Amino acid sequence: MAQLFFKYGAMNSGKTIEILKVAYNYEEQNKPVAIMTSGLDDRDEIGIVSSRIGLRREGIAIFEETNVFETIKALENAPACVLIDESQFLTKEHVLQLAHIVDELDIPVMAFGLKNDFKNELFEGSEYLLLYADKIEEMKTICWYCHKKATMNMRMIDGKPVYSGEQIQIGGNESYFPVCRKHYFNPLLKGDL
């Protein structure tokens, strides 16, 4: 029985490498997968799922106007699983389409993404995945400053944390640190490490 999974974690928790690993495992058994990612993420190329350790795969870009259900339904070979990277950037409508893929096409969907933004507020996609997912799993990583579990994402500009601004600013280690609650509110600035 297919299910909708939401696997979330702070920056650097291994979400993308997990997608690539799951895809490999399916394909090793001759089971095709559909890999999708947000069209907003242009750090590498649009539509490319790319991990920090250098592994990358081509995927299908999801834009605001994309009907994810119809995209999957129209594929020549039905996938054994749909894998979504950067799922925090999905809309409520996209999340409902993922639920329809599970319920109507009987295809499992695994969505990976951040839960909360740098202001510690939910992203739209994450909010609705938390509401509609059959299974929710936290992927863990450690705080940039200590050995506690990182649960928040700190946006950095010129080596200093910022707590206001636009919710979406695409970036990696140059812009965001995974941090625990203590260091989110009391960050160690440059030179304090």
pLDDT per position as a tens digit, 144-162: 889 999 999 998 877 787 7
Yes or no: say if 110 and 22 are a contact pair by the CB < 8 Å rule: yes
Q: How many CB atoms lie within 10 A of CB 102?
A: 20
Catalytic residue among 45, 86, 127, 138: 86
Is 86 a known active-site residue?
Answer: yes
3-state secondary structure of 147: coil
Residue 62 sits at the vertex; the CA angle it makes with 61 and 68, to the nearest 5 degrees, is 120
Average pLDDT over residues 86-112: 97
User: Which is more confident, 105 or 46?
Assistant: 105
- 188 CB contacts (<8 Å, ≥6 apart)? 145
pTM score, whole prediction: 0.88
